[in-house]
Amino acid sequence: MELQDIISPVGELWRGSSLALQEAGNLTPVTLFGHNNAVIILMLAVAALTIVFFRQIALSVAGSFVALFSENRRDDIFNDASYGQLSTMTTLILVPMYAFVLFYCSLGGRSYWMILASVAALLLYRRAMFALIGWINGTEAVNEVKNFSDSTFIMMMSLSQPVFIVAYLFGNMSRMIPAIYLAVVATLCLIPYLAIACKKILAIKFSRFFCFLYLCVLEILPIAVVVKIIVS
């Protein structure tokens, strides 16, 4: 047997090996339980923070529910100096969890980091726009709408967490069921908020055109963009 006959099969095996330099770019990243290790580490960190600050998170979530359904106690909750700090901390903890739920139940192919960035950008955009509206008309009603917006998103994100547990336990469940649940939760939370927000905006002497502009620029359009990113 000639030397060339021995070398050729070895070369073919080497080209098909994952150790080949030309194939290195196609290697899949190291994963744990089907997800990137960085995502798992982030979720573990968020879980640890949830355990440490569970009481504060529970108070913030409970206050958000009360603010939506009890108009008499809404002012007392929003005027509490500690509520702003609690809602900010709770939002920072819930956003990565909510993004993971959207990623796990998503019908599209976006990465977790893209979804997390989209949700975070949406909330930051809303904060910036509310700051602009407050600069234009610095009344207490504008601050109340901002607080009500924060509490609505806290409630929406907290209500979305159980669907991840159900979807994980029943792995063969159609992704359409969790997606419908998330859509229903978002609708039930956002419709009462939008109705109250428009009422408050009209009450502080903004025109109906401004109210329409507010709905399009601050509420409907940004949410539609995030939904488009997630499902595409």
Written in H, E and C, the secondary structure of the chain is: CCHHHHHHHHHHHHHHCCCCHHHHHHCCCCEECCEEHHHHHHHHHHHHHHHHCHHHHHHHHHHHHHHHHCHHHHHHHHHCHHHHHHHHHHHHHHHHHHHHHHHHCCCCCCCHHHHHHHHHHHHHHHHHHHHHHHHHCCCHHHHHHHHHHHHHHHHHHHHHHHHHHHHHHCCCCCCHHHHHHHHHHHHHHHHHHHHHHHHHHHHCCCCHHHHHHHHHHHHHHHHHHHHHHHHC
Cross-strand bridge partners of residue 36? 31
Separation of alpha carbons 120 and 116, rounded Å: 6
Separation of alpha carbons 127 and 149, rounded Å: 10
CA distances from 102 to 27, 182, 191 (A): 26, 8, 20
pLDDT beyond 80 at 224: yes
Supply the pLDDT for residue 107.
Answer: 63
| pTM score of the predicted model | 0.75
Which residue type does 141 have?
A
Separation of alpha carbons 164 and 170, rounded Å: 10
Q: Which residue has the higher pLDDT, 61 or 18?
A: 61
Please report, to the nearest 10 degrees, the dihedral formed by the alpha carbons of residues 52, 91, 229, 177 taken in order. Answer: 70
Q: What are 9-47's pLDDT values in tens digits?
A: 544 544 444 444 444 444 444 444 445 678 888 888 888
Domain boundaries, given as residue ranges, for the chain: 3-231
Q: What are 103-153's pLDDT values in tens digits?
A: 887 666 788 889 899 999 999 998 888 888 888 776 777 788 888 888 889
Q: Which residue has the higher pLDDT, 56 or 7?
A: 56
